[in-house]
Structure 1
Amino acid sequence: MSSKLHCTGLSAEDHQPSPQKESVPPLKANAEAIDFLKSLQPKELQQLFFSETLAMVSDTGEPLGELTIDVQKGEYRDELGVISYCLLVHAFSRGLLDKLLCGNSILGYLSGKMEIMEQHGHEFIKFPVLPMDRKTSLVRQEDQLAVTRTVKEGEEVKTEVTFFPWNSIAGFISEAANLVMLRVMAWRRKVPSNARFLALDTEGRLCYSTYQALGFQMFQAGHQQVEVFIVEQTVHSEEGIPMSCQFYLFSDGHLAKRVQVGSPGCCIITKMPILREEDEIEPPPEFQKKPLAWEEDMELYSKFLDRKEELRLSHSTYMRQHPEAHALISDFLLFLLLRQPADVVTFAAEHFGPFAHSRPPTPALRSSNRPSPFRSPAPKQPSSSGSQPSSGKD
């Protein structure tokens, strides 16, 4: 058994270009791809939470296996223990390839803008002599994305670890994100024009990924004919042959058929799914305010009379139990009518002020000119320039 570890971004010396080779500019997603990812809305993504299953069949129609894709709302716990909501994507397939058992699975956690949080992929082919088993893990680690690939062929194991700075992979679309993106395009019935995303090829190298709309076509599903929207995704490997896959999508994002260009067989539905429709949020009902003619309502008018009589009896009982209240009110009204002040509120405050417990008792002999605490002091009048000094006599 042999093992190989390859790391990038660990030291500056390891990545200095040789004098004989020109430095290659890093790959970058274009503005159309970035804008498309920014346009994704939470309300739109909520329409994409469902599971679907397709049958894997050969070019002669022979069943070979099964493909299941599930997108749900989930939770993700990062390395610091912080929990955040995410899109949980789980896809797996198992079947036969040239009579050899093979399988593939993806488990991915995505943000609402399709940013990768974590993804784990596993692929295997049971060759008779050298079985192949390949595992790929993508994990965001603070300001970088760590990609770990482990390939086992027979007893030989090769492991590669690559680090990509986070700010250099804007517009990156993982395999899990691609499955969600296709559902978004199906809902919108269009692909982002001239968009160039970033992706990983089969060797784990960064490359471009593009989408192309191939138009609409009538698809026979059981006894129904339903229109599907065809999208072709191409992963442009920098060193290998570009790989293209065509997706036949219903209007709600369900997958009707998937064909990998150049590969025998395909994945196709066996039962027509129940197509979802966009939820229409109806405005809340408006109720016009109507005048209440309670006098015409016998029940309300009877309650009014009962309450009125109840209050009258309560008030009469209170006044009988407290005759001093009647005397205070009568005394105040008498002085009010005799004095007839312009400021009734201040007059009432001065009248009832001595009864307050918080105020000190008023002395028996007090100046009649003492200012009232309830009145604002009168402003001083400026003296005229021609006035004579007071002689001190009245």
Structure 2
Amino acid sequence: MELAQDSAAVEATDGQNATAPANPDSAQPSQEEEMPTASSTALQFLQSIGGEDYKYLLFRDDLVTTSDTGRELGEFSVSVEQTIRNGENCFLVHANSHGAIDNVPCGTSITAHVSERLETLEQHHHEYVKLENCPLDRKTVLIKQADNFVVNRVITQGEDVQKSTQSFPVDKMAGFISEGSNLLLHRLMIQKGIPQNFQLLSFDSDSHVCQATYKKLEDRTQVVDGVELKVWGIERTIHSKSDLPTTWQSYFTSDGFLSSRVQVGSPVTMRLARIPQPIVRDEEPTKPIFSKKPLNWEEDLQLFSKFLDRKEELKCDHSSYMRNHPELKALMADFMQFLLLRKPKDVIAFAADYFASFSSAMPTPPSYMSSAVPTPFPQSRASDRMNDLRKN
């Protein structure tokens, strides 16, 4: 099911499986066969994806297909755009690969509707190899229903037409990634990074559910149109239960543009021919910095006018309060007179003691409090005189 015109064409031109169509009954899943599962790391990655992650991933890839000798064989393109399907916001992924290998026209096209969590809502996958005596045409339609994924396949080889239908329960397909969603997943991985132990579910060439593992490749440089670019790689391996594992290696620029793609063991490579236009990312506006300036309010006519108005307002308010409380003048006059007479060193303590007597919270002293104060002398003078007279 992987989008690879090279493998389909090489198999057809080598004569392998070119005249023996696949048995549709062999693709039916066994009721007793245990379904593979995706890793928890991969499921967490899918759950973490949000709408903002796709902001800079809606663009088009254009590559050329070349042989191991450098001869151009065809073209490969991938486009991603937002759309609405049955009232649901999703992404339309369209991939197309066509060319000729050993003068045999071949190609693959994928049109898929994918949700934000990379769930495949619908996918149409078409592969063809136009052999002169026995052309091969394979069409696969994947549709997600309420409880099942339904896969309809029509394989036409010469005049022989075979049809098959398979159904997979949705609750058993957690972490399933189709070929359309896989193209979008690669862009997300370049942007968000590739976790360790990343294992999802996919279909092999016979529509059997199998494990698909992803791992990061070492960074390298690639020359595109005479310019050396640093690219990041992802390796995807489909572990088919009925055949050998199939591995693809894809490299991307820092913006997520596909720079090269090859199936391991195939002589056909897809390469970027021209440097794509860089994606313009929205930058957060820089917050303005205002330098602190001295406030000369006396020179500011508006501030100075407000100052004069406030000054007159306070004067009027204070004068009104003084008129309404004539006892205030008498109280202050007594305090000033008493202060100038005593001339204390600690004016604050003297004022606190003076005004404390006017407070209602202070306890009322006894009437003869002054006479109750103990004398600093142990005996009075009168008693001393009487003692002297007794001695004489």
- TM-score band (shorter)? 0.5 to 0.7
* RMSD, aligned CA: 3.0
Letter in 1 for 2:82: K
User: 2:39 is matched with which residue?
Assistant: 30
2:85 to 69, 76, 92: 76
Alignment of 1:360-379 (within 5 A): none
- Counterpart position of 2:61: 52
Q: In the alignment, which residue of structure 2 is the partner of 1:115?
A: 119
- From 189, 192, 195, the equivalent of 2:198 is 195
Cα deviation for residue 36 of structure 1 reads 1.1
SS of residue matched to 2:70: coil
CA distance in 2, matches of 1:200, 1:273: 32
Deviates more, 1:269-278 or 1:134-143: 269-278
Aligned to 2:98: 94
**Which residue is equivalent to 1:141?**
145
Contact 1:3 1:157 in 2 (8 A): no
Partners of 1:139 and 1:145 within 8 A in 2: yes
In structure 1, the partner of 2:50 is 41
- Paired AA for residue 42 in structure 1: G
Tell me how far apart the structure 2 counterparts of residues 265 and 3 of structure 1 sit (CA, whole Å): 25
State the Cα deviation string for residues 155-186 of structure 1 (Å, max 9, x = none).
11111111111111000000011101111111
Once the two structures are superposed, what CA deviation does each residue of 1:16-49 show, in whole Å capped at 9, x if it has no partner? 6xxxxxx432211121111111111211112100
Deviation, structure 1 residue 279: 3.3
Q: Write the distance in 2 (CA, Å) between the matches of 1:146 and 1:233.
A: 24
Aligned to 1:392: none
What is the CA–CA distance in structure 1 between the aligned matches of 2:72 and 2:125, rounded to whole Å? 24
Q: CA deviation at 1:274?
A: 2.2
Distance 2:66 2:103 in 1: 12
Q: How does 1:274-353 map to 2 (within 5 A)?
A: 274-276=277-279, 278-282=281-285
Q: 1:64 aligns with which of 73, 79, 100?
A: 73
Radius of gyration: which is bigger? Answer: 2
Q: Could you say what secondary structure the match of 2:186 adopts?
A: helix
Q: Name the amino acid aligned to 2:105.
A: L
Q: Secondary structure at the match of 1:147?
A: strand
Q: Say whether residues 1:171 and 2:180 are aligned partners.
A: no
Distance in 2 (alpha carbons) for counterparts of 1:94 and 1:230:
24
2:107 aligned with 1:103: yes
User: How far, CA to CA, are the matches of 1:215 and 1:15 in structure 2?
Assistant: 39
The one-letter code matched in structure 2 to 1:115 is E
**What is the identity percentage for the equivalent residue pairs of Structure 1 and Structure 2?**
34
Secondary structure of the residue aligned to 2:143 is strand
2:35–2:209 contact (8 Å) kept in structure 1: no
Alignment partner, residue 373 of structure 2: none
How far does the alpha carbon of each residue in 1:129-160 deviate from its partner, in whole angstroms, 9 at most, with x for none? 11000001110111111011111100111111
Conserved in 2, the CA contact under 8 Å of 1:251 and 1:275?
no
Gaps of 5+ in 2: 1-20, 306-392
Write the distance in 2 (CA, Å) between the matches of 1:195 and 1:245: 15
Instruction: Letter of the 1:249 partner, please give it.
Output: F
SS of the residue 1:48 aligns to: coil
Opposite residue 35 of structure 1, the aligned amino acid is: Q
Paired residue secondary structure (2:171)? helix
**Structure 2 CA distance for partners of 1:297 and 1:50, relative to 1, 3 Å:** farther
Contact conserved, 1:29 with 1:198, CA < 8 A, in 2?
yes
AA partner of residue 105 (structure 1): S
Counterpart AA for 1:65: G
Report the CA distance shift for 1:59/1:7 in structure 2 as closer, same or farther (over 3 A). Answer: closer
Shift in CA distance, 272/235, structure 1 to aligned 2, threshold 3 Å: same
Q: What is the identity, as a one-letter code, of the residue corresponding to 2:187?
A: R
CA contact (8 A) 1:7 1:161 kept: no
Equivalent residues, number: 282
Per-residue deviation, 1:8 = 9.6
| Distance verdict in 2 for CA 1:29–1:69, change over 3 Å | same
Shift of 1:7: 11
Amino acid at match of 2:232: F
Aligned to 2:158: 154
C-alpha distance in structure 2 between counterparts of 1:128 and 1:221, whole Å: 36
**What does 1:243-282 correspond to in 2, within 5 Å?**
243-276=246-279, 278-282=281-285
Which residue of 2 is the match for residue 320 of structure 1? none
Deviation (angstroms), 1:113: 0.3
Q: Deviations over 1:79-137 (max 9, x none)?
A: xxxx1110110000110122200011000001100001101010000011110000011
Shift in Å at residue 223 of structure 1?
2.5
TM-score using structure 2 length: 0.66
User: What TM-score results when the alignment is normalised by the length of structure 1?
Assistant: 0.66
